[in-house]
Amino acid sequence: MPESTPEFVWPAGAATGIGSLPGTDIAEAQRIVLGELPDLPHLPELPERGPGADLIGRGAGFLVDLPVQLYAGRWQIAGRPGRDLRRTADLLERDLDQLTEQADGFTGTLKVQAAGPWTLAANLELPVGGRMLRDPGAVRDLADSLAEGLRRHVADVRKRVPGATVLLQLDEPSLPSVLAGQVPTESGLSAYRAVPAPDAASRLRAVVEAVDTPVVVHCCAPDVPLQVIRDASASAVAFDLSLLAELDPVGEAVEAGLGLFVGAAPTRPAAGQRPDAKQIAERVRKLWQRLGFPAARLPRQVVLTPACGLAGAAPGYVRALLKACQEAGRRVAEV
């Protein structure tokens, strides 16, 4: 087993958030993130603001020449840009304006998030009905469009925060269902055909390679498709530690140089319980010991995170949780 540690864009002992936070005040959300997660802050997402701030609407807003609209409560490919897309763009612009102001002078690594191509394909409707997933040609066009849109987004963030190194997170909660053929059709009586792993990796890689910046793929599922993520040339994978079923694929990924964003802090507290930095750090150390890698690699190759997004959490708990993750990262760095 190699003793050398791969190079990563985040500092040793870093902690970050997955993306979503509660509330509707983007200025306050960014203050919390920049204050509590100074080593690896992220651009917060506030889905409580409504359509266009949700995972699919916000992600579809990055598509180039593929406008979307809301139809019967679902996002659908549209003939031309309309009110829904303008609202999505306006929300993102407000977020980026706040980031420009609050991250002025920042020189570390900054994470931004967007839905990945397979999650969009599994959730966006075609104009004629059915998910984009049903049409391989539409999926190809979607991936190419998203790749160009996210390339522009990363370039915009670099321009706004010129001292920052941008890290892009692709959220792929639907990827395991896509690979397993478990995405239901409109009727709910059947499912779309399973996508072969090489095809899934190819479309994901088209986005990863186009954005010209390191990419972490986030997937909160028991069966995170680590080989697909590795084949897509991602720099890291983000997962919920409590859902981890098998260690061998994780060990192989670590040995191959993949970074781990380990969701070791519960997003929902047990009754009367506060986040405990010592316990969070210990969960990560125990995972690393079970994997059998040198302790010195842990703080460089692993980033600590909450188990998943925090949109539904109480605001007071969120601040305490992010603070605990940051402190746990420092503990992990004390090898």
Per-residue confidence of the chain (335 residues) as pLDDT tens digits? 344 567 899 999 999 999 999 999 999 999 999 999 999 999 999 999 999 999 999 999 999 999 999 998 899 999 999 999 999 999 999 999 999 999 999 999 999 999 999 999 999 999 988 999 999 999 999 999 999 999 999 999 999 999 999 999 999 999 999 999 999 998 778 999 999 999 999 999 999 999 999 999 999 888 899 999 999 999 999 999 999 989 999 999 999 999 999 999 988 877 667 889 999 999 999 999 999 999 999 999 999 999 999 998 988 899 999 999 999 999 999 86
Residue for token digits 């993102």?
92
Phi, psi of 67, deg, nearest 5: -65, 155
Q: For residues 16 and 326, what is the distance between their CA atoms, to the nearest angstrom?
A: 8
Burial state string for 16-27 with b = 16 or more CB within 10 A and e = fewer than 16: bbbbbbbeebbe
Domains annotated for the chain, with CATH where assigned, are: 26-333 (3.20.20.210)
What letter does residue 170 receive in the DSSP assignment? E
Q: Hey, which residues does 263 pair with through a beta bridge?
A: 240, 305
Residue for token digits 């917060």?
44
pLDDT attached to residue 320: 94
Under 8 Å between Cβ of 234 and 226: no
Q: For residues 85 and 106, what is the distance between their CA atoms, to the nearest angstrom?
A: 30
- Which CB contacts under 8 angstroms, 24+ apart, belong to 30-37? 30/95, 30/98, 30/99, 30/102, 30/103, 31/102, 32/318, 32/319, 32/322, 33/322, 34/102, 34/103, 34/106, 36/319, 36/322, 36/323, 36/326, 37/322, 37/325, 37/326
pLDDT attached to residue 1: 39
pLDDT attached to residue 227: 97
pLDDT attached to residue 4: 58
In the structure, how many helices (H) and strands (E) does the chain have? 12, 8
Under 8 Å between Cβ of 161 and 111: no
pLDDT attached to residue 335: 64
Helices 197-210 and 136-160 cross at an angle (nearest 10°) of 30
Q: For residues 83 and 68, what is the distance between their CA atoms, to the nearest angstrom?
A: 10
pTM confidence score = 0.95
